[in-house]
Amino acid sequence: MDNKIKKAYDARPKNWVFELVLAVIIIGLMVWSATAVETSGTNQNGGKIAINILSGIFHPDTKLLLNLTNQGVPYLLLETMCIAFMGTVVGAIISIPLAFITASNLSPKPVAFIGRMVIMAIRTVPSLVYGLMFIRVTGPGAFAGLLTMSLCSVGMVTKMYIEAIEDLDTRILESLDAAGCTTWQKIRYGILPQLMPNFASTAIYRFDINLRDATVLGIVGAGGIGAPLIFAMNSYRWNETGAILAGLIVLVLIIEFISTKIRVKLARG
Amino acid sequence: MSIYDKIFRPKTYTLPNGKSVQQKASRMPVAVVIILAMLILSIRITGFDMAVLVKRMNQFFVILGEMFPPKLEYLSQVWGPLFDTIKMSLLGSVIGSLLAVPFAMLASTNVIPNRAVVAIVRLFLGVVRTLPTLVSALIATYIFGLGTLAGTTAIAIFSFAYIGKLTYEEIETVDMGSFEAMEAMGATKTRAFISAIIPQVLPMYLSNCLFNFEGNVRYAAILGYVGAGGIGLILNEKIGWKEYSSVGMILVALFVTVFIIESISRAARKKLV
């Protein structure tokens, strides 16, 4: 018995050359990337500053947190949520035609390749730059924020849509064909039921992410809770930062909980 | 039968063989009403206006037009910050992903029977994940000074929470047979985790790490705004000076880099999974 185990153990696949090469590459990469770390900027006060920041964040400014006017956290959170919601809706709408053009089972290869490149280009441009461009269109404010957010969503949403479209079960269409259905009936009963839950689930997931990324918009003055947050941090008002962060974190966690529930329901039908 | 079904009675069909089946009333109307209400509220608050969008859309392309053709001479100055960005994303992703493993283990209900520990670790991961990267980067610059170290820290913190969540979800789906067998033979939990669970989740974990790294390279471009080093620093500077042809060059360089990294990582992930 022991011999058998030993034999099987000795006969285990050995690809130590591959593993060694991989290890060398990974260690090499780590050493290479460690060269970028500058520690010169670190001073002795770092620890003290960190403690100050943390104590500020853990003693949030309750006046700001419970203020119900335009400047208070609740209103800012509502505005952020609206920006994220509209941004997701607009982004999802832009994504649908893009996804159908790029899905490799629907369109010819060159078109799909170009579509993929366009999506990648859209995804690469940092939100900062989009924010700048849209502020020219609409002026600073929530409108610019939602447009920025919608373009930022397009990359990921299209990618997931494409996957959903490529996973379409075409046998259903064939059987509908065989049953004598018209094109519209095929779309209504063959394609939409397959795609809708998937698309909705992706959009909800993206809504989560957009809510979390809303701070980025603040830096270009595109509305929402980002700008007050960055201002508070830049002027070392850590109590205000704490209040805003507390509101944001609680909101994101609640929305995430709800959206997970909905997505599980969508996935199980 | 839920309340909804009591209000909107399910339709009953009688089949030719005498059996009757019920079709529950569609939930669609409720969803539509909720979505419409949210849409109206959002449009009101954000001031979304299609007319403005159509009328002034050409303004969007003004800056885009100024970016092309990109200023090629500027390329020589892009390399340094670009490689800094890659380096800080790589280091941050690796540190964060490695740190995430023990926490992912503690957050898996099938490895840790203690509900309280699981709940606390999950809440911790959730809060860290919600912390905006920009905020952690800004705090890091106050502590470590301006530069790539702050960016690396911020990326490590985000990767930690992101990979932690994905990994515990992955761990919960593994086959527990070998883990239980090893525990029954007297192995400690950590030992059994390393030998029985890690080999099962490793491909998915590595694939997630690569995906996370890709995203981080892209995200690192924003971190420059708060002075956290990398390509974002020069991007922000050039935007500030309105030198849009240089901005165009930076974006092209970033696009090519992201394309190369994505191609490598997609090939690697295909091999892994």
User: Domain boundaries in chain A?
Assistant: 61-268
Q: Assign residue A189 a region (left: φ > 0; alpha: ψ between -120 and 50; beta: otherwise).
A: alpha
CB interface of B with A, residues 90-129, below 8 Å: 90-91, 94, 126-127, 129
Interface A:B, Cβ pairs < 8 A: 177
Distance between A181 CA and the closest CA of chain B, angstroms: 22
Pair B13, B144 in one domain: no
Q: Which of B178, B174, B168, B165 is nearest to B200 (CA)?
A: B174
B213, part of any domain: yes
CA angle A78, B57, A75 (to 5 degrees): 10
The answer to whether B96 and B205 have CB atoms below 8 angstroms apart is no
Distance between B49 CA and the closest CA of chain A, angstroms: 8
- In sequence order, the 6+-apart residues with CB closer than 8 A to the CB of A120 are A155, B255, B258, B259, B262
Of residues B126, B138, B225, nearest to A233 (C-beta): B138
Half-sphere exposure of B4 (CA within 13 A, CB side): 8
The answer to whether B212 and B121 have CB atoms below 8 angstroms apart is no
Q: Which residue has the tokens 């649908």?
A: A96
Amino acid identity at B266: R
CB interface of A with B, residues 141-200, below 8 Å: 141-143, 145-147
pLDDT at A95: 92
Q: Cα separation of B108 and B87, whole Å?
A: 31
| Chain B CA closest to residue A47 | B143
Amino acid identity at A47: G
pLDDT at B164: 93
The answer to whether B164 and B103 have CB atoms below 8 angstroms apart is yes
CA angle B92, A217, A157 (to 5 degrees): 75
CB interface of A with B, residues 9-28, below 8 Å: none
pLDDT at A38: 67
The answer to whether B53 and A133 have CB atoms below 8 angstroms apart is no
ipTM above 0.90, yes or no: no
Are the beta carbons of A39 and B144 separated by less than 8 Å?
A: yes
Q: Print pLDDT tens along chain A (269 aa).
A: 678 888 888 887 777 888 889 889 988 888 888 877 766 656 667 777 778 888 887 888 777 777 777 778 888 888 889 989 999 999 999 999 989 888 888 788 898 888 888 888 888 888 888 888 888 888 888 888 888 889 889 988 998 899 888 888 888 888 988 998 888 888 888 888 888 888 989 999 899 888 888 777 777 777 778 888 888 888 888 888 888 888 888 888 899 889 888 888 887 76
- Interface check for B268 against chain A (CB to CB < 8 A): the answer is no
**Which residues pair with residue B14 across a beta bridge?**
B20
Mutation for B interface: A35, A37, A70, A215, most B CBs within 10 A: A37
Range of the domain at B25: 3-48
Q: Cα separation of B192 and B178, whole Å?
A: 8
- Interface check for A124 against chain B (CB to CB < 8 A): the answer is yes
B63, part of any domain: no
Pair B31, B80 in one domain: no
Tell me the CATH number at B180: 1.10.3720.10
In chain B, the N- to C-terminal Cα span, in Å, equals 42
CB interface of A with B, residues 218-237, below 8 Å: 219, 223, 229-230, 233-234
B60, part of any domain: no
Q: Cα separation of A146 and A167, whole Å?
A: 31
- Interface check for B202 against chain A (CB to CB < 8 A): the answer is no
B81, part of any domain: yes
| Chain A CA closest to residue B130 | A249
**Which residues pair with residue B22 across a beta bridge?**
B12
DSSP string for residues in A172-187: HHHHHHHTT--HHHHI
**Residue B170, exposed/middle/buried by CB under 10 A (0-12, 13-18, 19+)?**
buried
Q: Cα separation of B132 and A249, whole Å?
A: 9
CB interface of A with B, residues 61-100, below 8 Å: 78-79, 82-83, 85-86, 89
Q: What CA–CA distances, in Å, run from A145 to A215, A251, B26, B83, B170?
A: 10, 19, 35, 30, 35
Q: Cα separation of B34 and B38, whole Å?
A: 6
Residue A125 tokens, joined? 């441009």
Q: Cα separation of B135 and A252, whole Å?
A: 15
B62, part of any domain: no
B167, part of any domain: yes
pLDDT at A117: 86
Mean per-residue pLDDT of chain A = 84
- In sequence order, the 6+-apart residues with CB closer than 8 A to the CB of A45 are none
Long-range contacts (CB closer than 8 Å, 24 or more residues apart) made by A28-32: A29/B90, A30/B90, A30/B91, A30/B94, A32/B87
3-state secondary structure of B23: strand
CATH of A61-268, one of 2.40.160.20, 1.10.1240.10, 3.40.1010.10, 1.10.3720.10: 1.10.3720.10
**Which residues pair with residue B23 across a beta bridge?**
B11
Q: Which residue has the tokens 């994505």?
A: B262
Pair B106, B176 in one domain: yes
Q: Cα separation of B100 and A11, whole Å?
A: 34
Q: What's phi and psi for B22, nearest 5 deg?
A: -115, 135
Tally of domains in chain B: 2
3-state secondary structure of B20: strand
Mutation for B interface: A138, A149, A225, A250, most B CBs within 10 A: A138
Q: Cα separation of A226 and A87, whole Å?
A: 15
Pair B22, B122 in one domain: no
Chain B residues in contact with A47 (beta carbon < 8 A): 143
Q: Print pLDDT tens along chain B (273 aa).
A: 577 777 777 778 888 887 888 777 777 788 889 889 988 888 888 888 888 888 888 888 888 888 878 888 888 888 888 888 898 899 999 999 999 999 999 999 888 888 899 999 999 998 898 888 888 888 888 888 888 888 899 999 999 999 999 999 899 888 888 889 998 998 888 888 888 888 889 988 999 999 899 888 888 878 887 878 788 888 888 888 888 888 889 889 988 998 899 889 888 888 876
B196, part of any domain: yes
B37, part of any domain: yes
Distance between A30 CA and the closest CA of chain B, angstroms: 7
In chain A, the N- to C-terminal Cα span, in Å, equals 50
